[in-house]
Amino acid sequence: MQPIDTTPENSFWQRQAITIKGIVIFILMLVLLIPTSMVESLIYEREGRQREAVAEISGKWGQSQTISGPVLVIPYQKFERGSDGKMFGRDIQYAYFLPDQLTINGTVNPEKRHRGIFEVVLYSTNLTLEGSFPRPVLDKMIPEGAVVYWDKATLTLGIPDLRGLKEQVKLLWNEQSALFDPGIPVPGVGGSGINVPLVLSANDPAVHHFHIDASLKGSGALFFTPLGKVTDVKLSSPWPDPSFTGAFLPDEKNLSSAGFEASWKVLNLNRNYPQQWTSDQNIGFDASAFGVDFLLPIDNYQKSTRSVKYAILFIGLTFLTVFFVEMGQSRPVHPFQYALIGLALVIFYTLLVSISEHLSFNPAYAIAAVMTVGLTGLYARSLFNSGKMALLVSSTLTILYGFLFVVLQQQDYALLIGSLGLFVILAAVMYFSRKISWGEERGN
């Protein structure tokens, strides 16, 4: 007669304890995305505060500047014959002329200013614009019988923010000196700038030469519009991190830790507007502007935002590590304790943002990572009563933070490194989880 097995059969909850706990941990991971999103909102808020500080300082110093010109404008009036046979004049109209040759040379001196804890890049520059205009020929541009007001010609120079002008702007026109006046009194060449009245005649020399010296302040970016039939621009600056942008990139550039030198050559064939037109046509220059943006290197808020996107990875892998240790040690970890570990990982990002506002990003990252790894490691030691297991959890986090740091330092290869890293991490998780019994096999 065989003995009867009186061992009580495990209940469903006992047999599926590991699976149920895994589901609970997964739900907890999703719940922790809520404080993570709140941290991301905090970063956006601080970034908005930074933009406000930049706008405040730039508004008092000078905004981004775009030099458009010079443009020669000549007014004319055309007449028509009424039904009674009498001649009458119509509104004043304008003929616009761009230079044949435009050469711009400048030295830009950026500097950093602070508003509280926020940093702003301002610059001052000395520009020299020189070149030549051909003698204006209006016969084919204006109607027959129109009256040309040669003595009311105007030379305009577009400057978006006139608060940036440091000194009087001087013009040398055919060896005759003059000073610019504020504003642009003629339509069709922009809304903000300066002008000089000129007295021309139909019998002027074949070529008009000009030379303009301007001292200008601005912030963020300095741009130019290629209004010459041939436009040559040369810039130099001690700023080591320029961003060349706009419709044209430099033909030549030299970058170093001591600054940069860059030059552009743009032909009238490279942009989509003529060298001369009348006010019957609507011509815009903005799409052809090019220049340099004086950017700070990838700022702390950008890097912090990028790091938050990996939060779910950190939480998930840390929970998996604790879960695997829990299975191996047979020491249960309560979901509340998982939640505390997850919150420690979320607080890493608030530490990173707050410290990076006072230090550069890399030291801030190291401090926040050491604090988080240390706190989590000490808590894991108390949970498992094992220095070895605490070292395992701490080592996992250290590897993760090291991986994230490498990704954040990259710009061109960030996606590639991140994808390969995630693949390796997934392979490691699959390897260590292959022998875990997930249910009834463990209970039998």
| Residue 273 tokens, joined | 């507007």
Grade residue 24 by pLDDT with cuts at 50, 70 and 90. Answer: confident
Mean pLDDT of 2-11: 53
Q: What is the pLDDT of residue 225?
A: 94
- Between CA 367 and CA 375 the distance in angstroms is 12
Judged by DSSP in three states, 151 sits in helix
Predicted confidence band of residue 108 (pLDDT cuts 50, 70, 90): very high
Token couple for 363: 């030291």
Contact 348, 369 (CB under 8 A): yes
Q: Helices (DSSP H) in 357-439: which residue ranges?
A: 361-384, 387-409, 414-432
Find, among 208, 126, 113, the residue nearest to 165 by Cα: 126
DSSP-derived secondary structure letter, 146 = P
pLDDT digits (tens, 9 = 90+) for 380-412: 888 888 788 888 888 888 888 888 888 777 766
Whether 443 has a pLDDT exceeding 50, the answer reads no
pLDDT (average), residues 364-383: 88
Q: Which residues pair with 71 in a beta bridge?
A: 156
Q: Where are the alpha helices (DSSP H) in 158-218?
A: none
> pLDDT band for position 83 (50/70/90)?
low
Question: Residue 384: which of 429, 313, 321, 437 has the closest Cα?
Answer: 321
CB 227 within 8 A of CB 69: yes
Q: What is the DSSP string of 279-322?
A: TTS----GGG-EEEEEPPSS-HHHHHHHHHTTHHHHHHHHHHHH
- Using DSSP's 3-state secondary structure scheme, residue 182 falls into strand
> Residue 429 above 80 pLDDT?
no
Q: d(Cα 263, Cα 252) in Å, to the nearest integer?
A: 5
User: Is pLDDT above 90 for 107?
Assistant: yes
Confidence of residue 442 (pLDDT cuts 50, 70, 90): very low
Q: How confident is the model at residue 84 (pLDDT cuts 50, 70, 90)?
A: low
Q: What is the dihedral of CA 418, 422, 424, 430, to 10 degrees?
A: 180
Q: Dihedral sign, CA of 408, 410, 415, 420?
A: negative
Radius of gyration of the chain from its Cα atoms, rounded to whole angstroms: 35
CA dihedral angle for residue 207, residue 208, residue 209, residue 214, rounded to 10 degrees: -150
Predicted confidence at residue 82, as pLDDT, reads 59
Domain ranges for the chain, please list them. 18-49+301-443, 63-297
DSSP string, 236-272: EES-S-EEEEES---SEEEEETTEEEEEEEEEGGGSS
Tokens of 375: 């706190």
pLDDT digits (tens, 9 = 90+) for 116-147: 677 788 899 999 999 999 888 887 788 777 88
C-alpha span between 248 and 265 (Å, rounded)? 9
Q: Return the DSSP state at 165.
A: B
Res 140: pLDDT: 79
